[in-house]
Copies of this chain bind each other. A is one copy, B any other.
Amino acid sequence: MKIGVLGTGDVGRRLASELAGLGHQVMLGSRTADNPAAAEWAREHRGSHGTFAAAAAHGELVVNATGGLVSLAALATAGAANLDSKIMVDVSNPLDFSHGFPPRLVVPPEGSVAEQLQQAFPRTRIVKTLNTMHNTLMTDPARVPGPHNVFVCGDNQAAKAEVVNLLKSFGWADRQILDLGGLSAARCVEPLVLLWISLSSTLRTSDFNFAILR
């Protein structure tokens, strides 16, 4: 599949690398066409790189791995036409680091970044997932033993099913994938990042994850 990954940070490069390794044709998108990190990634992973618009145009499926505070602007740059009718996997978290550490959570008026993006790009099928863990765990769930979970939500069932298949290709088992329903559940999982940050300090590791036990 042709996949565009927006965002060249740790999360974007991790997901792009995994997807390229699985045989997908991945273009890494950044604000500028000559981003050195993106160019280096493309050389090392037999992928390509370009602007947000180029990566969005390239992808049959698009991953939003930009920071949650700038996602709306990044997608505007990518262009609605380039995102039209496509599945977008939103892994972003709306964290404000401008006041130091720990960062503050910014809750958009729409309730969550995912809902904000969905309202701005109604013809894109947004699925929220993977935002509640470290990027190394996203593509290698076996780093943490036991029945820990990845949450998924979105308004389009077919899009969600496709994203679930992608998660399975990363190594997530069916019983680990917890479907929370419509995209409004994004407002329940985006705040989890604050607890994640607190726990990473307490536990002194990033190899942990949330689980729902019953």
Contact = CB atoms under 8 A, between A and B. Distances in A.
Contacts of A105: 191
Residue in A147, A181, A185, A205 whose Cβ sees the most chain B Cβ within 10 Å: A185
A127 B16 CA distance: 43
A105 B198 CA distance: 20
Q: How many copies, total?
A: 2
Interface in A186-214: 187-189, 191-192, 194-195, 197-199, 201-203, 205, 207-214
Given A144-B214, A210-B210, A181 B202 contact: yes
Interface of A: 105, 107, 144-148, 178-181, 185, 187-189, 191-192, 194-195, 197-199, 201-203, 205, 207-214
A195 B201 CA distance: 22
A195 to B, nearest CB: 4
B194 A187 contact: yes
B189 A195 contact: yes
A205 B212 CA distance: 12
A149 B13 CA distance: 33
Contacts of A181: 198, 201-202
Nearest to A111: B104
Contact of A214 (B178, B180, B185, B203): B203
B180 A213 contact: no
Nearest to A208: B214
Contacts of A214: 144, 203, 205, 207-209
A211 B208 contact: no
Nearest to A181: B202
B211 A213 contact: yes
Given A210-B210, A210-B211, A202 B189 contact: no
